[in-house]
Amino acid sequence: MNCKSVQSRLSAYLDRELGGDELLQMRAHMSLCRECRCEAEGLRALKSLLGGIECPEPPADLPQRLTATVLRERCERPARTIRISALMFAGVTACSMLATLLVLNMGLGSHSEQTAGRGGSQSNVLEDRPFGGDFGSGPILSTANFGPR
């Protein structure tokens, strides 16, 4: 037996939970190994000290206090959850609005460059295309649609 296996089984050894062969192997190792013997003596002293401590009795009203605490936390939790959900919704909404604006600005910038190359005049795109026409040549709406007439 080596030190690692002995030290992992010291508690069982001191509590007399080991079988005959393992008990004899532990005793033989500890008779030769000073470190394991010291570890066993320290653990025995600790168990003795802890065995002499009295366990305090819980207060009589402990069940009622625990129940009240659990109920109070259950009542407070939904309000926190709703607040957190509302904040998350607001954040997601703001991010999607920002992304939409960025995409629209990128699209409008490229459309302005295209129309500038064709003479620089922007016409009302809706008037140029009949319903059901070719939508692949540019945006359906442009800034010209919303400017003063």
| 86 within domain boundaries | no
Looking at residue 139, what is its pLDDT?
54
Q: What's the length of the chain?
A: 149
CA-CA distance, 108 to 125, in Å (whole number)?
A: 13
Domain of 113, in residue numbers? 96-149
For 88, other C-beta atoms within 10 Å of its C-beta total 10
Could you tell me the two tokens for 65?
Answer: 């206090």
Triad 139, 104, 146: Cα angle to 5°: 65
Residue 65 CA to residue 70 CA, distance in Å, equals 9
Task: Enter the pTM of the model.
Answer: 0.38
- pLDDT score at 82: 73
How many degrees, rounded to 5, is the angle at CA 127 between CA 124 and CA 133? 120
Question: Does residue 114 form part of some domain?
Answer: yes
Residue 126, pLDDT score: 47
In a domain, 75, yes or no: no
Ordered mean pLDDT values, 10 residues apiece, the chain (149 residues)? 89 88 90 92 90 87 92 72 82 92 76 52 48 51 55
Report the domain count for the chain: 2
* H helix intervals, the chain: 3-8, 10-14, 20-32, 34-51, 62-117, 125-128
